[in-house]
Structure 1
Amino acid sequence: MQTPQDLARAPGRIADAPRPVAVLDMGATAIRLVVAELAVGQPPRLLEEASRAVMLGKDAFTHGRLGSPTIEATLRALEGFRRIMDSYGVVRYRAVATSAVREAINRDTFLDRVRLRAGIDVEVIDGSEENRLTYVAVREALREHEAMTTSDSLLAEVGGGSADLSFLRKGEPVYSGTYVLGAIRMRQNLASWHGSHEQRVRLFRRHVQNVIGDIRREMPLREARHFVALGGDVRFAADQVVGEEPGRPARTVERERFLAFCEEAVALDDDQLAERYRLPLAEVETLVPALIVYRELLLETQAEAVLVPEASLRAGLLLDMAQADLGRGMEDFSRQVLASASALGERYRFDAPHSSQVARLAIRLFDELKGEHGLGSRDRLLLEVAALLHDVGIFVSLRGHHKHAQYLLSVSEIFGLSRDDMAVISNVARYHRRAAPNKSHLPYMALDSEARVRVNKLAAILRVANALDADHLQKLRDVRVVREDDNWVLEVEGAGDLTIERLAALARSDLLTEVFGRKLGFREAGGRT
């Protein structure tokens, strides 16, 4: 996954002069291209948009793989997109694929053919990155709206393969998730069923309500005072209810009018929808299941209207590139991730003062040892998240809570973090106490060698940081690492008796010594060892 700091280092990074860039989104129902001009400090200027309907999701969600005709149609579309990019002199681009390609068994072979034939490298992103990019676009479109400044809001986008949801508190994402509520997926699940349209709609509703029942346990849906909806199907609904409003960043559809339109549209079968609204069949297929999802989600909130902003994954990709060029991407990203991590900690009733103290000390040690570990800013963020959440396993049981923490974090979602990120975080949290990483530990061995080395380094730091707040009283104000001959000495500033912290830090420095080859000492500022 490319992060803001990766993009900032990418070849062809824009200087002061505007340069053409491109973003490409390979979704479940279509492939879309945007070519734009970026200049430092200016919003992206659209040069050209292109879209081709290719039903990747039909193959992926029915058979688990992409069929030859679908692959050929995709390659032809991408060859055309490559010609458009070349005509503008595009060098810098970001091409992403979402759930359909992500779930296809033959995705690696498919992506290799795309690279060789169209000359486009496509990055498969997971739901967390989709959520982040969509949020970036919505935040820009609604930056002055109370939905992003003072209230709780639910942000929803129903795609072909999944629905991406984020719960925002005063504009900051605190909960997010990707759920099996994609319009094409829902249709394909009933592809072999031949009941009436009314029966099909009832089955759709039942499925959606069951999934929303699970979402309620993860997000406080009832607290949302605003409902922000994205996607082609909800834009179509807004077109029908309030019409187009050029120049406005978002359209507002009153709750009752939106619900009434949903009921009216859902009552029509595919042929009736195509005839009434003069829609192609490819768009008709997604409309009914998508509107059912939007309707049921809206009913879960207190929102008096549906906000439909002019925002998309592609807009988020462009804005992400622009923010990286201004050097602001990582700062925003870290704040969003940490807000979501804290919300997850609250769900598991973590000890917030202790966790915050351990996170602060872990980051301090990370910075002090920067020349030794060779890790980057993203690793620093993963360490901070692991430190915040290292004790969540106590929610299950105090006994063996480090192992419970590993499992809970491995199956949790944090806004903006990928499954690979969560695998690293969960392992780092697992090793904050007791045994060090071992070949007999399956979650650890499931990581690749590079990730295991990162876990070793980060866990070694976390063990010491946790020890420095051993009695959970936050006695330490600061810690420095002083090099003395071949050893390191922790020079700490604090209040009160630090005997417990000294004994714990020395006892838990085993992994640090093993990883970095340095013995650890302990000294209070002022000289007492």
Structure 2
Amino acid sequence: MTKDRLAAIDIGTNSIRCIVVECNQDGSFRILDDEKDTVRLGEGIAETGEISAAAVARAEAALIRMHKLVTGLKVKAIDAVATSAMRKSANGPQLVKRFSELLGSEIRVISGDEEAALAAQSALRNFDTHGKRFGVLDVGGGSVELITAQGVHVEEFYSFELGAVVMTEQFLKADPLRSTDYRKFQKHIRDTVKKQLDGDKLTLPTLIGSGGTINAIAQMALQLRRNPVEGVHGLEVLRSEVVHLLAMLQRRDLKGRREVPGLTPDRADIIVAGVGLVDTMMELFNANTLLVNSHGIREGMIVEAIKRRGLAPDAPSPRSWRESVVSFGRSCQMDDMHSQQVATLSLALFDGLADSYGLKKRERVLLEAAALLHDIGYYISYHSHHKHSCHLIRHADLFGITPREREMVAVIARYHRKSLPKKKHDEFQRLTVKEQTTVIKLAGILRLADGLDRRRCSTVSGLQCCVEGSLVRLTLSGTEDLAVELFGASAKKDLFEKAFGLQVLFATEGCLP
């Protein structure tokens, strides 16, 4: 059956973005194409009050190309919006009409609050926010949208004319940058935000960021870490990293900024304003963590378009990390019974060792995810399926699991069989020393648990773990003979014993001979 395809086009102050998706019947979708063109519609608006002829020409060329793209991909409908530059320019209305004719679809000029709502919808769809107080920050070229929220409940929307292009033209045009200009810029941000927010509203421990500036921060942070992951979506960037990036960028002139690893040259002239805005916002809200949402407004547009056009009952509401993992596993045709049994046994081992070895709650999540997904490599081939599992997990989009955690889950699953971790293994080498230590322990547990379901029929119904000095006694229970399971576990206890410095002893109770 042919699936409906939609395109969402976001005509922003700095760039025009086009995303094309294919919709599923349950309201989910997959991305077919994602196009961007930096057209700088907002260039010079502060001085002239209008979008310049040069910017219009760039935008027309981009829209003509994007129209051809979506036509070739046979989309059913185009949902297009224009934001800050179109809102504030005197010639915005006539350009909306002109651009709509080029696209063959009406362009809606949306308010700052509507922008904020779309950003919030995307953030809630991609991050586990239950029980957490946070803010959503969408940084554009002309405006900045802020949403305050608690759990899954949005509190208030705010829109500020503090975008990277506007702030650069107003405060930061000198090259190299002048410290006096930057201080004026920073004071302007603080004063603008504090006019609308005060008191307890200024405490947001975590910000979920979207937009070109946020993605640029994430890419530069990865380069500084020299520890790359597959994509920046879900990445955690610390305030200290933002501070470091800002100081580095401020020391460079425009030519030097164009050479910064991870930063695209066409953003070098406005990046100080963008990073400076994020840094000041994090300082104002006492936020130590910036979570990167690489989807942002366009995803919110797609979700709204799906609902509005009745292409599916409803776009799926936010899932738990476990539901996301199981859904991904099933898309790879995982063996549910075996995966759940290995996860159950892994967690029983983890819980028995947690107090003695200081294992953390979040590590329990990573272990369970790896246990559920450890065999999905069968989807590609039985041979080297542990490596295939690792590859599939590394490129998965798992709700509630950060990119760094996803890397760890992938490597834990990789070592459920065959070779023990080695420094020469690329996936293992990508991890920090601390992450490697954690992975070895969790992979040791998973490897042993996998052996305890050697026949893949959940014969082991109970497991007790008791540490006695340098020994750990594992007492197994079941309703039939466990000889095969004992053999499987004995063959796969090597990494566990190495990781924890324990000798494993097995005992059985309540089992038939």
Whether 2:276 is the aligned partner of 1:292: answer yes
Correspondence for 2:221: 241
Q: 1:287 to 1:33 in 2, by over 3 A?
A: same
Correspondence for 1:445: none
Task: Output the CA distance in 1 between the equivalents of 2:56 and 2:70.
Answer: 21
* Equivalent pair of 1:198/1:267 in contact (CA under 8 Å): no
Correspondence for 2:299: 315
* Map 1:70-469 → 2, pairs under 5 A: 70-142=55-127, 145=128, 148-190=129-171, 196-217=177-198, 220-242=200-222, 244-246=228-230, 249-277=233-261, 279=263, 281-324=265-308, 325=310, 326-328=312-314
User: How far has the Cα of 1:189 moved from its partner?
Assistant: 1.7
| SS of residue paired to 1:285 | coil
Letter in 2 for 1:289: A
User: How far has the Cα of 1:313 moved from its partner?
Assistant: 0.9
Task: Output the CA distance in 2 between the equivalents of 1:247 and 1:271.
Answer: 26
User: How far has the Cα of 1:302 moved from its partner?
Assistant: 3.7
1:67 aligned residue (52, 57, 60) = 52
* Equivalent pair of 2:8/2:20 in contact (CA under 8 Å): yes
User: How far has the Cα of 1:247 moved from its partner?
Assistant: 6.6
Task: Output the CA distance in 1 between the equivalents of 2:188 and 2:81.
Answer: 29
Task: Output the CA distance in 1 between the equivalents of 2:217 and 2:262.
Answer: 14
Q: 1:247 to 1:283 in 2, by over 3 A?
A: closer
User: How far has the Cα of 1:34 moved from its partner?
Assistant: 0.9
1:27 aligned residue (12, 25, 32) = 12
| SS of residue paired to 2:42 | helix
Task: Output the CA distance in 2 between the equivalents of 1:247 and 1:191.
Answer: 30
* Equivalent pair of 2:306/2:314 in contact (CA under 8 Å): no
User: How far has the Cα of 1:42 moved from its partner?
Assistant: 4.6
Aligned length: 312
Measured against aligned partners, the alpha-carbon deviations of 1:193-248 in whole angstroms (never above 9, x if no partner) come to 7895323222221211222322433x734432222222222222222223553377
* Equivalent pair of 1:154/1:221 in contact (CA under 8 Å): no
Structure 1's unaligned 5+ residue stretches are 1-15, 333-529
User: How far has the Cα of 1:280 moved from its partner?
Assistant: 5.0
User: How far has the Cα of 1:28 moved from its partner?
Assistant: 0.6
User: How far has the Cα of 1:163 moved from its partner?
Assistant: 0.8
Q: 1:264 to 1:44 in 2, by over 3 A?
A: same
2:43 aligned residue (28, 47, 58) = 58
User: How far has the Cα of 1:102 moved from its partner?
Assistant: 1.1
Task: Output the CA distance in 1 between the equivalents of 2:31 and 2:256.
Answer: 36
User: How far has the Cα of 1:70 moved from its partner?
Assistant: 1.8
Letter in 2 for 1:112: K
User: How far has the Cα of 1:278 moved from its partner?
Assistant: 7.5
TM-score (norm 2): 0.56
Taking only the aligned residue pairs, the percentage that are identical comes to: 19
* Equivalent pair of 1:251/1:308 in contact (CA under 8 Å): yes
Measured against aligned partners, the alpha-carbon deviations of 1:455-508 in whole angstroms (never above 9, x if no partner) come to xxxxxxxxxxxxxxxxxxxxxxxxxxxxxxxxxxxxxxxxxxxxxxxxxxxxxx
Q: 1:22 to 1:70 in 2, by over 3 A?
A: same
User: Which piece of structure 1 moves more, 25-34 or 205-214?
Assistant: 205-214
* Equivalent pair of 1:226/1:307 in contact (CA under 8 Å): yes
Task: Output the CA distance in 1 between the equivalents of 2:297 and 2:279.
Answer: 22
Letter in 1 for 2:84: S
Letter in 2 for 1:257: E
Letter in 2 for 1:239: Q
Letter in 2 for 1:53: T
* Equivalent pair of 2:27/2:314 in contact (CA under 8 Å): no
* Equivalent pair of 2:206/2:290 in contact (CA under 8 Å): yes
* Equivalent pair of 2:117/2:157 in contact (CA under 8 Å): no
User: Which piece of structure 1 moves more, 62-71 or 21-30?
Assistant: 62-71
Task: Output the CA distance in 1 between the equivalents of 2:132 and 2:262.
Answer: 38
* Equivalent pair of 1:98/1:125 in contact (CA under 8 Å): yes
Q: 1:195 to 1:32 in 2, by over 3 A?
A: closer
User: How far has the Cα of 1:249 moved from its partner?
Assistant: 4.8
Task: Output the CA distance in 2 between the equivalents of 1:191 and 1:265.
Answer: 13
User: How far has the Cα of 1:183 moved from its partner?
Assistant: 1.0
Letter in 2 for 1:153: F
* Equivalent pair of 2:205/2:289 in contact (CA under 8 Å): no
2:22 aligned residue (22, 37, 48) = 37
User: Which piece of structure 1 moves more, 236-245 or 158-167?
Assistant: 236-245
| SS of residue paired to 2:31 | strand
Task: Output the CA distance in 1 between the equivalents of 2:257 and 2:173.
Answer: 21
| SS of residue paired to 2:141 | coil
TM-score (norm 1): 0.55
* Equivalent pair of 1:61/1:100 in contact (CA under 8 Å): no
Measured against aligned partners, the alpha-carbon deviations of 1:379-425 in whole angstroms (never above 9, x if no partner) come to xxxxxxxxxxxxxxxxxxxxxxxxxxxxxxxxxxxxxxxxxxxxxxx
| SS of residue paired to 1:185 | helix
Task: Output the CA distance in 1 between the equivalents of 2:255 and 2:295.
Answer: 30
* Equivalent pair of 1:40/1:322 in contact (CA under 8 Å): no
Correspondence for 2:506: none
User: How far has the Cα of 1:132 moved from its partner?
Assistant: 0.8
* Equivalent pair of 1:152/1:171 in contact (CA under 8 Å): no
Task: Output the CA distance in 1 between the equivalents of 2:265 and 2:244.
Answer: 23
Letter in 2 for 1:136: Q
* Equivalent pair of 2:209/2:292 in contact (CA under 8 Å): yes
Q: 1:115 to 1:232 in 2, by over 3 A?
A: closer
Task: Output the CA distance in 1 between the equivalents of 2:58 and 2:145.
Answer: 27
